[in-house]
Every structure is written in C-alpha cells, then in structure tokens.
C-alpha cells in the first residue's frame, strides 16, 4: 500500500530569536510502506524580515534483514528574495516515547541563495535499536532544518512577534 507524503510527515516549527527550526517527523513504518521516492515537502518560514521557501526531498531505505537505514536528503531554496541565509540539515531518530535513539547530527550546512541546493546522507546500521527491524518501525525519523541569518533581534519588535507566534505549529502548503 502506498502512503502519500501528507499522511506520513508531520511538520513542527519553532520560530526563535535567532532563526527558524523546522522539524519534519516521519513515521518509519509509513516510510517502509511508501513507494514513491523521493518524498517532497515544501515549507515557507514565518519570518518577519526575510521569509524563505524551501523544498525538502528525501529518499529513504531500510533493509529488513539488518535494520540498516540510509536516507538521502536534498534541500533547495525556492523563494525570490535576493539575500542569503544560513541553512543546516540534521537527522535524528526517536522512539515511541520521544527519546532519542540517535541524537541529532548535521549532514549538510551552507549559506544559501535562492535556487541553491545542499545535499547530505545518513547511513546507520550500528544502533542496537535499528537492528530490530520490527521494533524500529515504531520509531520516528526526524529531519530538522535550521534557518539562520534571516532576521536579527534589533530588526523587529521581538515582543510582539514572539508573543503571538512562538507556539504556532503549521503545515506546509503547496
């Protein structure tokens, strides 16, 4: 059975004083069932100074016999603004109780202008949790994109912005 991306990814966002943290959470069971690769998700930051738009594409594979996971990630900036921002992609794995099976580790990072792309890969077979394939299907693969250098605290009314938006959780819209 094929699952579409809307059903298998959950997006949570922290807008902070130094940037935007976009967390894409994928249920590993749904990833194992997905037949279309890459999975593609778009997101636009809720930035008061320089909103930026991004396309995240992931290609994922887990080998049932060994539990070995590989994930190939491409991040492309797609807005029309001329200034560069700093983007970092990291990957972590969490269990059902939201404890880290694998702590977040950066896989790529760069100053990015629009249309630019960065890529990174993640491969792991050593984590004991992943070796039990059936158990690992309950895990969450989390890809976090950190956007920095888009706003500075002196550039906007911090109090006004964060009092209304810090708890805002939104899904991307196409």
- For Zn ion, the binding residues (CB under 5 A) are 47, 150-151
Return the closest-CA partner of residue 168 out of 13, 10, 24.
Answer: 13
Least Å distance, CB 167 to Zn ion, is: 17
Q: Least distance (Å) from Zn ion to the CB of residue 122?
A: 26
Residue with Cβ nearer Zn ion (88 or 136): 88
Phi-psi region of 149 (alpha: psi -120 to 50; beta: other; left: phi over 0): left
Measured from the CB atom, the residue of 33 and 152 that comes closer to Zn ion is 152
Q: Which is nearer to Zn ion, 38 or 48 (CB)?
A: 48
Nearest to 90 by CA among 78, 98, 100: 100
Distances in whole angstroms, Cα of residue 157 to Cα of each of 14, 44, 166: 17, 21, 14
Beta carbon of residue 173, minimum distance to Zn ion (angstroms, whole number): 18
Q: How far is the CB of 92 from Zn ion (least distance, A)?
A: 23
> Measured at CB, which residue is nearest to Zn ion?
47
Strand ranges (DSSP E) for 28-158?
Answer: 39-44, 53-62, 69-77, 85-94, 100-112, 117-124, 140-148
Least separation in angstroms between residue 76's CB and Zn ion is 18
Whichever of 47 and 93 has its CB closer to Zn ion, that residue is 47
- Among residues 23 and 102, whose Cβ is nearest to Zn ion? 23
Per the CB < 8 A criterion, the answer to whether 60 and 39 are in contact is yes
């Amino acid at each position: 059975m094929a699952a579409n991306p809307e059903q298998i990814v959950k997006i949570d966002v922290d807008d902070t004083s130094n940037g935007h943290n976009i967390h894409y959470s994928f249920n590993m069971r749904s990833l194992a069932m997905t037949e279309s690769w890459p999975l593609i998700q778009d997101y636009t930051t809720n930035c008061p100074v320089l909103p930026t738009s991004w396309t995240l594409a992931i290609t994922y594979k887990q080998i049932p016999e060994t539990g070995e996971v590989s994930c190939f990630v491409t991040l492309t900036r797609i807005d029309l603004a001329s200034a560069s921002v700093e983007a970092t992609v990291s990957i972590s794995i969490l269990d059902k109780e939201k404890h880290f099976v694998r702590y977040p580790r950066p896989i790529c990072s760069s100053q990015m202008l629009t249309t630019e792309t960065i890529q990174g890969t993640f491969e792991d077979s050593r984590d004991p949790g992943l070796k039990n394939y059936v158990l690992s299907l309950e895990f969450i693969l989390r890809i976090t994109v950190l956007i920095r250098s888009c706003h500075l605290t002196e550039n906007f009314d911090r109090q006004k912005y964060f009092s209304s938006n810090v708890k805002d959780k939104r899904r991307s819209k196409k």
